[in-house]
Amino acid sequence: MDFALSEEQRMLQDSISGYLESACPLTRVREVAEARDDRAEDVWEELTNLGVHGVLIDEDYGGVGLGYLEAALIAEALGHAVAPVPYAASSIMAPTALAMAGSDEQKEAWLPRIAGGEVVVGVGVTEQIGRRETEGVTSADGKLNGKAMFVLDGASADILMIASDDGGLHLVDPNSPGVTRNKLKTIDRTRTVAEVVLDGAPGDVLAGSVANREPLLNMIDVGRMILAADTLGAAQSMLGKSVDYAKERRQFNRVIGSFQAVKHMCAEMAAELEPCRSLVWYTAHAYTAIPEEGRLMACHAKAHLAEVGKFVARKSTEVHGGMGITDLLGLHYWFKRIGFNRQLLGTPELVREEAARVQQWI
Amino acid sequence: MDLEYSPEYREFRDEVRTFLDENKHRAPNAARMIPGRPNSPKEWQQLLIEHGYAARTIPKEYGGYGAEPDILKTRIIAEEFARARVPTGHSGDNRLVPTVLELGTEEQKQWLVPPSVRGEMTWCQGYSEPGSGSDLASLSTKAELDGDEWVINGQKIWTSGAQNADMMFCLVRTEPDAPKHNGISYLVFSMDTPGIEVRPLVSMMGDAFFNEVFFTDVRVPKDQIIGKRGEGWFVANTTLRYERGGLGDPNEAENRLNRIVDMMKRETVSGERLIDNPIYRDRLLKLQGQILAMKFNGMRVLSHNIKGEEPGMARWIVKLNGCELNHQMAGLAIDVLGELGLLYDGSDYLRDGGFWQARYMLDLGLIIGGGTAQIQKNMIGERALGLPKEPKVEAA
């Protein structure tokens, strides 16, 4: 019985965080965001060298073959640094679906290239969680029709994985005829989402996803877990900045952190956030070790981190006073990152309803 | 991450289960027992000590079982007794006994620990005063040495169980000229000592669990002091440490949540089950997420403790969050019951024996007691996050 990270897991955490701290400071994030680039190319390449994109991928396919806990620790570090690189969809959701439902040919075609940082995969599952403007995507005779919104990591993805209404997962080349892709502008410039319109577009369906929704549902579970971990890191960073600021900023001849009003905001952030770390760790560990709990925990991690993230984002901004809302300070990059994670792959209300169904309460 | 018990502990768990299966029928009725009150019958307590399920780490020579401290085994005992809904035993008094064992003289240990462990000597805590709550170190009940006796004058308040306790451990000011933290001593004495008057303080729950205790020229032998003169604040902090460890148990919170789930599947309003109402259901699910997070936080703290590591922030937040969640759960349960939630004192339509209304009020008391939520936030801010203390205000 030991609810703790292993020595190797702590080293992984340190190496990713250490790298991001030196190579991806706010100034670098700002450059990417202001240029409206889809990713920080240098950061992407070094993360490839560190094994990030192949974290889940078997060594047989060129990955490092680690588990979801390691994947979540990486997500936490990326969220902490608001790193402008694809990860949740491309490095976690797509490899999960390929490993579970892909044919040998499909795995061989894509997994090594994902692990090697050669391709980014955009994942379109929004219509299978909460449909808004669109009628979704239908599949017939290897052709796809309809519209997929908020395709995650999708703006300049080399290949798309689109879910159709029957649960099928289809690999779609964005350059093939019948595919139109538009980058959607969101509040968060550190990750990308796209609108993908399909008009008789050719799709290569993952063999195991035909008449089986499990690969789709699993992919959504792990995506939720990773977005929760990303929020954990981003919120932890905001708490740290708040405490630092409260120790420096002086008003009425005192540092503001000595006022209980400010101190208690910091304490409330810490009290809300600290248990989230254990929830994320448990969720990531349980997904493989205690599979019967996996989906419920992924729902709770996603919903709870969305709530706590929102709380921390708001309180942290308040601790910073007027500076908190300026572009100059840049705190808004974390605020928006947390907001992005909240809306994608199911808002807290929708995800909690799913948790009720998973427990057969309704 | 390894969430399984190793074979040694699985074997221990089986042992506890077998014991409970064989002896459950001898246990007192759990429903009538309120946590924290030393009302476990003496025969049950004795049986538990013999098997090492109560007073487990208290040395044999002082009436305990004499096992090496083992956090996991202690936890397994608590888990299995809770699962079997069988009341646990006690370790005398979880504040006084560890303090005496750590800081008392050999004579004091022999005098105080064995009868406490047997349940023949019960305790109340004389700390808070009308003018000294959160700022406990400002306390003014004084004790002056007169020959071989302390003479105590003053008043305590919030003294839980004072009307039934045999003994009190008490903080008194013995060095009026010393700085406030260095002028306090820790005395122990019988509640039968002349000059002690206990006045019940009726709480919002309608019971008189708390008391005011008045001291008028109460004479206590000089050697009934734990630690040295003027070191009582340090001694008391040893005690507080033991008390705080017990508040906000996340496993208990999960059990309570499951009771609400069952209730929401059972209770209906206008013919609809409460679990089918999306707004009530969302409140329940929000709480479930928070409780799971605290449960896993508890596992993390436990793992640090087993390894002798300082859990840091994960520990500082337990009292604040645990008490708050318990209060919110009771609040949800009452709302689930609607008008039925108002019933109290053994009404005909009462649900769960009035447990939820009682908890709603008691849990609010626990948010305040043992260091208020605001004091907890000060501690999180200052000790865990390193924010500066508020500047001291000079006494007027």
Q: What are the pLDDT digits (tens) for A202-232?
A: 999 999 999 999 999 999 999 999 999 999 9
Structure tokens at A281: 């760790």
Q: Is pLDDT of B244 > 80?
A: no
Return phi, psi of residue A344, to 5°.
Answer: -75, 145
Partners of A163 in the β-ladder: A169
Q: Cα separation of B98 and B251, whole Å? A: 24
Query: Domain containing A159: what range?
Result: 121-209
What's the confidence (pLDDT) of residue B33? 47
Yes or no, beta carbons of A5 and B313 under 8 Å apart: no
Stretch B240-248: mean pLDDT: 52
Q: Cα separation of A45 and A40, whole Å? A: 9
Tens of pLDDT, residue by residue over A252-287, are: 999 999 999 999 999 999 999 999 999 999 999 999
Q: Cα separation of A163 and B283, whole Å? A: 32
pLDDT > 70: percent of chain A: 100
- Residue B81's closest CA among B242, B255, B324? B255
Structure tokens at B370: 């043992």
Yes or no, beta carbons of A3 and B6 under 8 Å apart: no
From A357's Cα to the closest Cα of chain B, the distance in A is: 11
Chain A partners within 8 Å of B277 (Cβ)? none
Q: Cα separation of A243 and A247, whole Å? A: 6
Q: Cα separation of A159 and A172, whole Å? A: 6
Chain A partners within 8 Å of B299 (Cβ)? 3, 278, 282
pLDDT > 70: percent of chain B: 94
Which of B243, B267, B272, B324 is labelled catalytic? B243
- Residue A274 covered by a domain: yes
- Residue A1 covered by a domain: no
Structure tokens at A27: 């100034």
Pick from A255, A268, A297: which is nearest to B377 by CB?
A268
- Residue A139's closest CA among A211, A214, A193? A211
Which candidate in B288, B301, B325 is best for mutational testing of the A interface (most A CBs within 10 A)? Answer: B288
Q: In the structure, what pLDDT confidence band is assigned to residue B246 with cuts at 50, 70 and 90?
A: very low
Q: In the structure, what pLDDT confidence band is assigned to residue B305 with cuts at 50, 70 and 90?
A: confident
What's the confidence (pLDDT) of residue B242? 55
- Residue A152 covered by a domain: yes
Instruction: State the count of interchain CB pairs (< 8 A) between A and B.
Output: 158
- Residue A155 covered by a domain: yes
Q: Is pLDDT of B39 > 80?
A: no
Domain-wise residue ranges, chain B = 7-91, 120-230, 247-384
Map residue B161 onto helix, strand or coil: coil
Asked whether residue A163 falls in the same domain as residue A136, the answer is yes
Yes or no, beta carbons of A281 and B376 under 8 Å apart: no
Q: Cα separation of B163 and B214, whole Å? A: 12
What's the confidence (pLDDT) of residue B240? 65
Yes or no, beta carbons of A275 and B297 under 8 Å apart: yes
Q: Is pLDDT of B279 > 60?
A: yes
Asked whether residue A221 falls in the same domain as residue A202, the answer is no
Q: Is pLDDT of B35 > 60?
A: no
* DSSP assignments along B265-320, one per residue: HH-EETTEEGGGSHHHHHHHHHHHHHHHHHHHHHHHHHHHHHTT---THHHHTHHH
Structure tokens at B240: 């507080």
Q: In the structure, what pLDDT confidence band is assigned to residue B37 with cuts at 50, 70 and 90?
A: very low
Residue B9: which residues within 8 A CB-CB, separation 6 or more? A1, B72, B73, B76
From A4's Cα to the closest Cα of chain B, the distance in A is: 5
Yes or no, beta carbons of B282 and A349 under 8 Å apart: yes
Structure tokens at B334: 């009452």
What's the confidence (pLDDT) of residue B306? 87
What's the confidence (pLDDT) of residue B74? 87
Which chain B residue has its CA at the smallest distance from A280's CA? B293
Asked whether residue A109 falls in the same domain as residue A132, the answer is no
What's the confidence (pLDDT) of residue B36? 44
Tens of pLDDT, residue by residue over B165-193, are: 999 999 999 999 999 999 999 999 999 99
Predicted TM-score (pTM) of this structure: 0.93
Q: Cα separation of A340 and A187, whole Å? A: 7
What's the confidence (pLDDT) of residue A291? 93
Fold match flag (B120-230 vs B247-384): no
C-beta of residue B243 within 8 angstroms of C-beta of residue B94: yes
Q: What sign for the dihedral angle of Cα A336, A337, A343, A344? A: positive
Q: Cα separation of A148 and A165, whole Å? A: 11
Radius of gyration for the alpha carbons in chain A, expressed in angstroms and rounded: 20
Pick from A246, A300, A304: which is nearest to B387 by CB?
A246
Pick from B289, B378, B391: which is nearest to A263 by CB?
B378
Query: Beta B196-201 vs B210-221: how paired, if at all?
Result: antiparallel
Domain B247-384 has CATH 1.20.140.10: yes
Stretch B369-374: mean pLDDT: 90
Yes or no, beta carbons of B289 and A267 under 8 Å apart: no
- What CATH number does the domain containing A266 carry? 1.20.140.10
Asked whether residue A71 falls in the same domain as residue A145, the answer is no
Q: Is pLDDT of B146 > 70?
A: yes
Chain B partners within 8 Å of A274 (Cβ)? 297, 313-314, 317
Structural domains of chain A, count:
3
Count CB neighbours of A177 within 10 A. 9
Q: Is pLDDT of B38 > 70?
A: no
Q: Cα separation of B115 and B106, whole Å? A: 15
Tens of pLDDT, residue by residue over A290-322, are: 999 999 999 999 999 999 999 999 999 999 999
Asked whether residue A165 falls in the same domain as residue A232, the answer is no
C-beta of residue B127 within 8 angstroms of C-beta of residue B136: yes
Whole-number average pLDDT of chain A: 97
Lowest mean pLDDT among A124-128, A166-170, B206-210: B206-210
Asked whether residue A181 falls in the same domain as residue A168, the answer is yes
Task: Give the helix, strand, coil percentages of chain B, each rounded to 5.
Answer: 50, 15, 35
Tens of pLDDT, residue by residue over A63-79, are: 999 999 999 999 999 99
Asked whether residue A267 falls in the same domain as residue A294, the answer is yes
Chain A partners within 8 Å of B281 (Cβ)? 353, 356, 361-362
Q: Cα separation of A242 and A334, whole Å? A: 12
Asked whether residue A251 falls in the same domain as residue A230, the answer is yes
Burial B257-290 (b: 16+ CB within 10 A, else e): beebeebbeebeeeeebbbebeebbbbbbbbbbb
Q: For residue A185, what is the DSSP state?
A: P
From A355's Cα to the closest Cα of chain B, the distance in A is: 8
Asked whether residue A203 falls in the same domain as residue A294, the answer is no
Q: Is pLDDT of B356 > 90?
A: yes
Identify the architecture of domain B120-230 in CATH: Beta Barrel (2.40)
Amino acid letter for position A130: G
Q: In the structure, what pLDDT confidence band is assigned to residue B94 with cuts at 50, 70 and 90?
A: confident
Whole-number average pLDDT of chain B: 91
Pick from A1, A267, A356: which is nearest to B72 by CB?
A1
Pick from A69, A266, A275: which is nearest to B321 by CB?
A275
B231 included as an active-site residue: no
End-to-end distance of chain A based on CA atoms, in angstroms? 34
Chain B partners within 8 Å of A257 (Cβ)? 381, 387-388
Pick from B1, B302, B391: which is nearest to A69 by CB?
B1
Chain B partners within 8 Å of A269 (Cβ)? none
Yes or no, beta carbons of B3 and A285 under 8 Å apart: yes
Count CB neighbours of A243 within 10 A. 24
Asked whether residue A32 falls in the same domain as residue A78, the answer is yes
Chain B partners within 8 Å of A289 (Cβ)? 1, 3
Partners of A255 in the β-ladder: A250
What's the confidence (pLDDT) of residue B34? 46
Asked whether residue A203 falls in the same domain as residue A218, the answer is no
- Residue B215's closest CA among B140, B121, B133, B145? B140
Strands (E) across chain A are located at: 121-124, 137-140, 143-152, 159-163, 169-172, 179-184, 193-202, 204-205, 250-251, 254-255
CA B66 vs CA B58, B61, B88: distances in Å: 5, 8, 18
Of A91, A115, A139, the position where a domain reaches its end is: A115
From A255's Cα to the closest Cα of chain B, the distance in A is: 8
Asked whether residue A107 falls in the same domain as residue A30, the answer is yes
- Residue A2 covered by a domain: no
Return phi, psi of residue B200, to 5°.
Answer: -60, 145
Stretch A81-105: mean pLDDT: 98
What's the confidence (pLDDT) of residue A321? 97
- Residue A316's closest CA among A254, A252, A269, A251? A269
Centroid of chain to Cα B207: 18
Of A59, A86, A115, the position where a domain reaches its end is: A115
- Residue A323 covered by a domain: yes
Yes or no, beta carbons of B276 and A270 under 8 Å apart: no
- Residue A190 covered by a domain: yes
Chain A partners within 8 Å of B13 (Cβ)? none
- What CATH number does the domain containing A75 carry? 1.10.540.10
Residue written as token pair 């939630």: B341
pLDDT > 90: percent of chain B: 74
